[in-house]
Amino acid sequence: MSTTPSDPPAPPAPSALPTGYAQEAPPPLGTARRTSPLTVGIELAALVGSVLFELLTRRLGPETPSSPFDPGMATIPLLLLGPRVLRWWFRTYTLTDTHMELNEGVLQRRHRVVPYSRVQQVDLRRHLLAQMFGLGALHIETAGEGGASAVSLSLLRMDDAASVRRFVLDRRDHTSGAGASIDGDGGGERAPVLTYELARMSVSDLLLSALTQGPGMLTTLLLAAAFPWLLGAAVSEEPTLAGAVVAVGLGLGLVATVVHAVGRLLGDWGWVLTHRGDDLHLRAGSFSVREQSVPRRRVQRVTIVDNPLRRMFGFTSVVLHTAVPAGTQQGVSPLVEVPLLRRGQVDDFLVRVMGPDWTVPALEPRRPAAARRSVMRRLLLLLPGAVGPGLVFGGVAWVTVVVALGAVPWGRAAHRRAGHAVAGGRVALAAGVLTHRVDLVPLDRIQSARTRSSPAQRRLDLATFHVDVAGSTWVGSLTRSPSLFDMDAATAAELRRTLPT
């Protein structure tokens, strides 16, 4: 991955800026405009495709009809065409100097006004069919609750989408005072905004990222664990059932690895992260191109993630979590993910993206009681899965040895990697073994802090500590709220009281 030097470079020439950052012609103001008429055609084409697929499955089914043509199904697109055309015709958007107006609805008319000063995130998406016709979908996320005030303009011609996107971002910066005029009095010609590249992913970086996570990591670990079986099968003249099972598992794992790698490679193709003013701009994708514009002040927390393979090669990945609320329309992503970073580049990258003093602090470990509880929890987790094989192959002694060999190092590693720190205006929480993560949360982004404790934790004066930030309600392992299990109860209670205030 290529990164910029320590000092920000001079702004590049307009021709060197990524797509969407060049100085497009401003859109007309005060004129009601519609999205591209091809929007209805593309929606209808998708509907016709689903109808044709249904007809084909009926034709190839066990009960073949006398005629493959079903007049009832064939009229479905025609029945839906009229309402879609009316909905497209009555939906208009108008740009002014201070706000955007959106009017829509056929029988029940709806009118909305979106001030540019409330605009938070602007995403531009182009799926394959839209790219073929030179179209793009513009998604504007505002400070509304639950995504109710978000605006979706789908689909626009690419020159219109780029000009509207640039105009909205510029007017947002102007109305919020993010930038000064050349004469210094807030009027006149505005000074140019500094734009420079933060990071760019090469094809080898993207491929290495895809192969060292998910199915790629699991396949490699399975290959390492199954090496004795494979070696025995290679020198043995008679195949064994265990060898066949291992071979089938590795084959399925390799297929999943290839599929996953190709998908990630196409999804992150041309990945480049650019800094413009106070915005982070991400552009990536091949068949489906996405362009995100996220204010740096909207980043709620940063997560640093690695796994055994990446630790072995000295790599990690960084995820920036934005304040996109749950329930927001499709097309606005809550994450800006850096697929691959050298471990030695993490601190420098965080400083360049988030500002001074954004480094990973030294973590304070948990109490020794947490280590014993960590091992015990994994003993209870491994015990049910080992009882069956143990009764077949070696009885209780075999079960005890296998569970102990797996749970003790696993629990100790989990304890060793867990910890917390409060430094530089941020709280850091770290946990995990196979997937190890460190969450960095600015103190001024914390919405609330909470603790919980089970009877076993209370007996050991331990508690689980959680930090809640805006946008942390998304479903997924990366987007769950930052937390730390088995923290000292007194320390957790103190952090719960002091961090949010």
Q: Reduce the DSSP state of residue 356 to 3 states and report it.
A: coil
pLDDT of residue 30: 85
Q: What is the mean pLDDT of residues 450-471?
A: 91
Between 45 and 445, the higher pLDDT residue: 445
Rounded Cα–Cα distance for residues 181 and 174 (Å): 10
Angle at 320 between CA 318 and CA 321, to 5 degrees: 135
pLDDT higher than 70, residue 126: yes
Q: What is the mean pLDDT of residues 87-92?
A: 90
Q: What is the number of residues in the chain?
A: 501
pLDDT of residue 17: 39
Which tens digits make up the pLDDT trace of 405-429?
A: 777 888 899 999 999 999 988 999 9
pLDDT band at 51 (very low <50, low <70, confident <90, very high): low
pLDDT of residue 211: 86
Which tens digits make up the pLDDT trace of 107-123?
A: 888 999 999 888 888 88
Which tens digits make up the pLDDT trace of 172-201?
A: 887 766 554 444 444 445 556 678 899 999
pLDDT of residue 181: 44
Greatest mean pLDDT among 67-81, 219-233, 244-258, 317-331 lies in 244-258
Rounded Cα–Cα distance for residues 158 and 501 (Å): 46
Query: What stretches of 127-212 adopt beta strand conformation (E)?
Result: 135-142, 151-157, 195-200
DSSP tag of 147: G
Q: What is the mean pLDDT of residues 64-86?
A: 60
pLDDT of residue 385: 62
- CATH tag for 368-498 (out of 3.40.50, 1.10.10, 2.10.260, 2.30.29): 2.30.29
Share of residues in the chain with pLDDT > 70 (%) = 70
Sheet holding 462-469, edge to edge: 446-452, 462-469, 483-488
Q: 409 Cβ partners below 8 Å, 6+ apart? A: none
Residue ranges of the chain that CATH labels 2.30.29: 368-498
Angle at 445 between CA 297 and CA 363, to 5 degrees: 110
Q: What is the mean pLDDT of residues 19-23?
A: 43
Share of residues in the chain with pLDDT > 90 (%) = 30
